[in-house]
Amino acid sequence: RKEVEQDPGPFNVPEGATVAFNCTYSNSASQSFFWYRQDCRKEPKLLMSVYSSGNEDGRFTAQLNRASQYISLLIRDSKLSDSATYLCVVNVDSSASKIIFGSGTRLSIRP
């Protein structure tokens, strides 16, 4: 099983749609969880951290299920500017080498 696994997509949805991504991780000792956004040939940018209680930032909602070892990201009322690759990132401990990036899920919003 991959350390961090994501559906590569692409997800192609119309503007205004709601879209959800899931991510699973294999190491039950993982401590911190994040969603990053990466535009083509650009650096990853932090979208949001994921907390056990779930958290929301505007149109974005992240959930963590430790028992099932998965993380989700929900985007409501999607905009054209949401088109990007979304990276699930897991930090197993405070070690840099233990930040594991998923391969990313590509999202394309069409007008």
Provide the 8-state DSSP code for 86: E
Cβ 64 to other proteins shortest distance, Å: 13
Cβ 15 to other proteins shortest distance, Å: 27
Tokens of 34: 């994040």
Which residues lie across from 33 on neighbouring strands? Answer: 50, 90
Q: How many CA atoms lie within 13 A of 51 on its CB side?
A: 5
Looking at beta carbons only, is 18 or 31 nearer to other proteins?
31
Cβ 52 to other proteins shortest distance, Å: 11
Cβ(4)–Cβ(100) under 8 Å? yes
Looking at beta carbons only, is 96 or 111 nearer to other proteins?
96
Interaction site with other proteins (CB under 8 A)? 31-32, 41-46, 87, 91, 94-97, 99, 101-104
